[in-house]
Amino acid sequence: MEKYDFKRFHIRSINAASDEERAAINQELKDLYNSLPEEEKKAFNEQLQQFLAKEMGRIKSDYESIKGSDSLN
């Protein structure tokens, strides 16, 4: 099973200079998925879900940390 580097796509998207560049990065990810054999698409989706859950957890933690520090002021 191949390991996909979703963080690379994520960082590139965050740093995109325009909506068009971000759309092109998203299309690149979609094209990668579409190029995979059916049996590999399941692993891709599982890894993507794990990455998204991890990132959402990180964002939530960062938000709660900032929110908590705001209430101290």
- Classify residue 24: in a domain, yes or no: yes
- Classify residue 12: in a domain, yes or no: yes
What whole-number distance in Å separates Cα of residue 10 and Cα of residue 27?
A: 13
Rg (CA), the chain: 16
Note down the domain range covering 34.
6-70
For 38-50, write each residue's pLDDT tens digit: 999 999 999 999 9
Contact yes or no for 15/59 (Cβ under 8 A): no
Contact yes or no for 44/36 (Cβ under 8 A): yes
What whole-number distance in Å separates Cα of residue 26 and Cα of residue 36?
A: 16
Rounded to two decimals, the pTM is: 0.73
Q: Kindly tell me if the per-residue pLDDT of 60 is higher than 90.
A: no
Total of domains in the chain: 1
- Classify residue 1: in a domain, yes or no: no
What's the pLDDT at 7?
95
Residue 66 CB neighbour total at 10 angstroms? 9
